[in-house]
Chain A
Amino acid sequence: MLEIKNLHVKIEDEERQILKGLSLTVPKGEVHAIMGPNGSGKSTLAYVLAGRPGYEVTEGDILWNGESLLEMEPDERAAKGVFLAFQYPMEIPGVAGLTFLRTAANAVRKKRGEAELTTPEFMKVVREKAAKLNIDTEMLKRPVNVGFSGGEKKRSEILQMAMLEPTLCVLDETDSGLDIDALRIVADGVNALRGPDRAMLVITHYQRLLNYIVPDKVHVLSGGQIRKSGDKSLALELEKSGYKEYEGEAA
């Protein structure tokens, strides 16, 4: 279970508070969606969950399976099952996608006390998972994300997620930039990972994604707090009326 308690976050070396007492609970086996206006702090929340430097938690806590994540390095969090699919995946010139995937997969396996994959084992797994996401393994011989289209980058994130078998999946606007077919492929990839042991947090601007990845709950993040929570119909409501009623600070 993911428990975010009264989380206050600001940017290091800046005064402005971005998250101002955000509380949220995602039980295992559930998928929760987060929607909210641009700049409301959705990516900030995602980064803080993954442990990106540069953000300061001034108050509150994040517990994953009862354990606080706050003092952990990003790689330790990954070993504990945390995975963030980036809104803007990064490029690593000169490092082949396959090398990167294998290094990552074996690093988490090692930390989780599992046996590392041999090259043939790894290739077999990667081929299967890439095929499901319609990714050509030739593409993975190229440097990580370099020269990939926006949609290709997003699919490559989901492939990384599938390879690392996380238990807490945070998807930050994975649907943005995907064409209709790719959206379905990615959603299938995400749905394949749904299970009783996994919790998912899906950040999106579009109700459309939630037709494919049907959420158990939808939350509205605005002004640094969760302003409303509901079932999937909340997304439809937002589609019609926008975020007007959530503007400004919480009462």
Chain B
Amino acid sequence: MNVAVIKTKAEQAIPELFEKVADTLPGGAKAAPARREAMSRFAAIGLPHRRIEEWKYTDLRTSLKDALAPATEAGLSAEALTAALGPLAAVAGDRIVFVNGIYSAVLSTKFDSSGLLNVAPLSEALASGLANLGAIGADEGQNAVLALNAAFVTDGAVISVADGAEIDTPLLIVNVRAGKTAQSTATRNIINVGTKAKATIIEMFVVAAGATANAQANSATEIKAGDGAEVVHVKCVSDAGEVSHLSNWLVGLGTGTVYRGFQFTSGTRVTRNGINVTYGGENAKLDMSGAFLARGSEHIDTTLVVDHAVPKCESRELFKGVLANHSRGIFQGKIIVRPDAQKTDGKQMAQALMLSPDAEFDSKPELEIYADDVVCGHGSTVAEIDEDLMFYCQSRGIPPGTARALLVQSFIGEALEKIEIETLRDALTSTTLDWLDETKA
């Protein structure tokens, strides 16, 4: 059945906005055809809505009412960057910084092309033809959010780690939004980690003091981890305001790759974290976990597809969310085990801690198993703060507010423990405690 849907205000505005800025977008003539193709694809499919199964709980036709104009350049001092990073400033690493989706050379580390590691802004790589927007394109299919990203993308990090290179210093892809004008940004990272190489990549999304409360971010990361590579990949979103954050991670693993992914989300009005993982070789190990905090009428959706196409691979997922007030958390986790993928070992768990009876958690685990010799399991729990534990803490003199904080920390800590970088784990713990402090019952 093909129902002609009336285009929403945003759906109508987006192609118009595109025409206005198309000529100014980086990559010039080299990238223009891919951008136009993506735009026409978007125009055909429109914003995802609840009648599309994967978007059942997150209807962008209603939650993305207006299309905001692409952000423009904004200055940001080093001090303002540190302030924007808050607790995350303590995480050491080499930085590639984007302010309003535009590369900032002053705030970024000077990367020399050692041959082991290459880091460049996408804007430059597009202009020189080193990167193209078709890279993700093949997988984009009906993904309207990715299509929008390809059409509007201004910048991002292009990272390649040479075969056998062990990069100990974490690479921090820092995205800061600044300035008083309502804005949209589209960024894309293209990451290649070579055979038996090691790398740690941390994406951060933060907001500068005094920035507009009205913003839309669309971010995509394509990461290919080669055979035997060891990759740690984290995304931390710590924003505030009427902010939407639409994200896609496309992860491809090789033979024997060990990949540890983590996503932390707080402070956004609407978040959609799309994660797609495909296995290209046997014996790969995936741990994809996350923590999210929502309050007010915030909405955080994590939709994950792990596609086991080859045998003997492992996948582990643990997502934990704290939901206050009228907020809503969504976890959709699909594990596909294709007929050839014998000896697959997959385990998935999603848990929510409800701080209010009005909060909602929708969890939809899906196992699609076409092989017979596999071990796969999933689970989902919803709980409130344990009254007995509250009493135990209070009987030790701990006031109710602090006791609650300890118990939330206890809950979320199990997910944060997945992060091996101590400074990052501590930063996210303190972000959680600050969040709790500011959250009204």
Q: Which residues of A contact B (CB under 8 A)?
A: 50-53, 73-75, 77-79, 83-84, 86, 89-90, 92-95, 99-100, 103-105, 107-108, 111, 143, 160, 164
List residues of chain A with CB within 8 A of the CB of B403: 75
Nearest CB on A from B299, distance (A): 26
Nearest CB on A from B414, distance (A): 5
Nearest CB on B from A104, distance (A): 4
Nearest CB on B from A227, distance (A): 28
> Are the CB atoms of A75 and B389 closer together than 8 Å?
no
Taking a contact as CB atoms closer than 8 A, the residue among A89, A93, A99, A104 that contacts B397 in the complex is A104
> Are the CB atoms of A90 and B392 closer together than 8 Å?
yes
Taking a contact as CB atoms closer than 8 A, the residue among B387, B393, B399 that contacts A53 in the complex is B387
List residues of chain A with CB within 8 A of the CB of B389: 90, 92
Count residues on chain B whose CB falls below 8 Å from chain A CBs.
Answer: 24
Q: What DSSP secondary structure best describes chain B's contact surface?
A: helix
30 A-B pairs with C-beta separation under 8 A:
A51-B394, A51-B395, A52-B391, A53-B387, A74-B395, A75-B394, A75-B396, A75-B397, A75-B398, A75-B399, A75-B403, A78-B394, A78-B397, A84-B395, A90-B392, A92-B389, A94-B411, A94-B412, A94-B417, A95-B410, A99-B406, A103-B402, A104-B393, A104-B396, A104-B397, A105-B397, A107-B399, A111-B397, A160-B396, A164-B397
* Contacts known (A103-B402, A107-B397); A92 close to B417, Cβ less than 8 A: no
List residues of chain A with CB within 8 A of the CB of B398: 75, 103-104, 107
B107 interfacial contact with A, CB 8 Å = no
Nearest CB on B from A106, distance (A): 9
- In whole angstroms, how far apart are the Cα atoms of A50 and B393 in the complex? 11
Q: Which of B391, B395, B400, B406 is most buried by chain A, counting CB atoms within 10 A of its CB?
A: B395
Nearest CB on A from B385, distance (A): 12
List residues of chain A with CB within 8 A of the CB of B393: 92, 100, 104
8 residue pairs, one from A and one from B, having the closest CB atoms: A94-B413, A78-B397, A108-B397, A74-B394, A104-B396, A94-B410, A75-B394, A90-B392
Q: Which residues of B contact A (CB under 8 A)?
A: 387-389, 391-400, 402-403, 406-407, 409-414, 417
* Given A78-B396, A90-B392, A100-B393; 16 other pairs, CB 8 A cutoff: A50-B391, A50-B395, A51-B394, A51-B395, A52-B395, A53-B391, A75-B396, A78-B395, A83-B395, A84-B395, A90-B389, A94-B412, A95-B406, A95-B413, A103-B398, A104-B397
Nearest CB on B from A161, distance (A): 10
- In whole angstroms, how far apart are the Cα atoms of A151 and B389 in the complex? 20
Nearest CB on A from B413, distance (A): 3
Q: Give the nearest-CB partner of A84 in chain B.
A: B395
List residues of chain B with CB within 8 A of the CB of A93: 410, 413-414
Nearest CB on A from B324, distance (A): 19
List residues of chain B with CB within 8 A of the CB of A83: 395
Nearest CB on B from A16, distance (A): 20
Nearest CB on B from A17, distance (A): 22
Q: Which of A74, A79, A93 is most buried by chain B, counting CB atoms within 10 A of its CB?
A: A74
Taking a contact as CB atoms closer than 8 A, the residue among A73, A77, A86, A111 that contacts B392 in the complex is A86
Taking a contact as CB atoms closer than 8 A, the residue among B395, B397, B407, B412 that contacts A92 in the complex is B407
Nearest CB on A from B432, distance (A): 11
List residues of chain A with CB within 8 A of the CB of B391: 50-53, 74
Q: Give the nearest-CB partner of B387 in chain A.
A: A53
Nearest CB on A from B409, distance (A): 6
Nearest CB on B from A108, distance (A): 4
- In whole angstroms, how far apart are the Cα atoms of A51 and B400 in the complex? 13
Nearest CB on A from B208, distance (A): 32
- In whole angstroms, how far apart are the Cα atoms of A83 and B396 in the complex? 7
List residues of chain B with CB within 8 A of the CB of A99: 406
Nearest CB on B from A80, distance (A): 10
List residues of chain B with CB within 8 A of the CB of A103: 398, 402, 406
Q: Give the nearest-CB partner of A111 in chain B.
A: B397
> Are the CB atoms of B410 and A92 closer together than 8 Å?
yes
Q: Give the nearest-CB partner of A161 in chain B.
A: B396
Q: Give the nearest-CB partner of A146 in chain B.
A: B410
List residues of chain B with CB within 8 A of the CB of A53: 387, 391
Nearest CB on A from B337, distance (A): 31
> Are the CB atoms of A107 and B392 closer together than 8 Å?
no
Taking a contact as CB atoms closer than 8 A, the residue among B388, B397, B399, B409 that contacts A95 in the complex is B409
> Are the CB atoms of A73 and B394 closer together than 8 Å?
yes
Q: Give the nearest-CB partner of B391 in chain A.
A: A52
List residues of chain B with CB within 8 A of the CB of A86: 392
Q: Give the nearest-CB partner of B405 in chain A.
A: A103
List residues of chain A with CB within 8 A of the CB of B397: 75, 78-79, 104-105, 107-108, 111, 164
